[in-house]
């Protein structure tokens, strides 16, 4: 460990529109580094085939979600395509275990997290260009022509917000590992930020608590 002190993990927000490959990039990060964990959000959308409750999401009814909001159990939430999505307060405990916590959330949520936790690190994943993005959406095969146009439009709208993020990482076709390595490097540098070691100098060198 070459950092001054790192009792807490980094709160890492990762956003990217459909077709940017953020899920693949985050999966590589977690597979290769056991100090990276995923924040499991709550949602009212139905599980997709292969999704497991408690792994991809905590699947909830609208009533259950609204109850969580009332009880203060949700740090941020948004409505996306007619469903609630939110980050559960309980997920933040993973930070106290020293883990870097990945919040894979959309832009509104990302901006809310930055406001609430200024020392969080927000990374925006981009496709290399518009043609590649469209090809990826078409090649998924699950979207209708209308759907593809909507998603393209939404993605381009979201891209205009990139300047509010701390970092931007391009995910080229077949090179998700490079994007994951870039995010890993970002987090490693952030861990060395002198401002994160508040109090450590006094404790370590001047016998002051």
Kindly state the smallest distance separating residue 147's Cβ from ligand 5GP, in Å.
Answer: 13
Q: Which is nearer to ligand 5GP, 89 or 188 (CB)?
A: 89
Q: What is the DSSP letter of 105?
A: -
Q: Which is nearer to ligand 5GP, 3 or 64 (CB)?
A: 64
Is the CB of residue 109 less than 8 Å from the CB of residue 87? yes
Is the CB of residue 102 less than 8 Å from the CB of residue 36? yes
Q: Which is nearer to ligand 5GP, 5 or 66 (CB)?
A: 66
Q: Which residues bind ligand 5GP (CB under 6 A)?
A: 41, 45, 76, 78, 80, 85-87, 104-106, 108-109
Kindly state the smallest distance separating residue 48's Cβ from ligand 5GP, in Å.
Answer: 8
Kindly state the smallest distance separating residue 22's Cβ from ligand 5GP, in Å.
Answer: 7
Is the CB of residue 29 less than 8 Å from the CB of residue 183? yes
Kindly state the smallest distance separating residue 77's Cβ from ligand 5GP, in Å.
Answer: 6
Q: Which is nearer to ligand 5GP, 36 or 85 (CB)?
A: 85
Residues 6+ apart with CB under 8 A from 73: 88, 89, 90
Residues 6+ apart with CB under 8 A from 106: 15, 78, 80, 85, 158
Kindly state the smallest distance separating residue 192's Cβ from ligand 5GP, in Å.
Answer: 28
Task: Give the CB-nearest residue to ligand 5GP.
Answer: 109
Q: Which is nearer to ligand 5GP, 76 or 190 (CB)?
A: 76
Is the CB of residue 112 less than 8 Å from the CB of residue 161? no
Q: Which of 71, 95, 129 is nearest to 13 (CA)?
A: 95
């Amino acid at each position: 460990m070459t950092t001054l002190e790192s009792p807490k993990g980094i709160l890492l927000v990762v956003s990217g529109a459909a077709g940017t490959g953020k899920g693949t990039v985050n999966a590589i990060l977690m597979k290769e580094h056991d100090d990276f964990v995923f924040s499991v959000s709550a949602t009212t959308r139905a599980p997709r085939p292969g999704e497991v409750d408690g792994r991809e999401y905590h699947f909830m009814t609208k009533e259950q979600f609204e109850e969580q909001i009332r009880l203060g159990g949700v740090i941020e939430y948004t409505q996306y395509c007619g469903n609630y999505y939110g980050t559960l307060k309980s997920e933040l405990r993973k930070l106290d275990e020293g883990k870097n916590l990945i919040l894979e959330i959309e832009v509104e949520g990302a901006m809310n997290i930055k406001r609430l936790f200024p020392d969080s690190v927000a990374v925006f994943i981009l496709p290399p260009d518009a043609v590649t993005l469209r090809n990826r959406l078409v090649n998924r095969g699950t979207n209708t022509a209308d759907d593809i146009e909507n998603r393209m439009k939404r993605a381009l709208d979201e891209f205009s917000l990139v300047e509010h993020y701390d970092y931007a990482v391009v995910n080229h076709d077949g090179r998700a590992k490079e994007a994951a390595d870039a995010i890993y490097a970002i987090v490693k540098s952030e861990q060395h930020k002198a401002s994160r070691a508040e109090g450590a100098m006094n404790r370590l060198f001047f016998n002051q608590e």
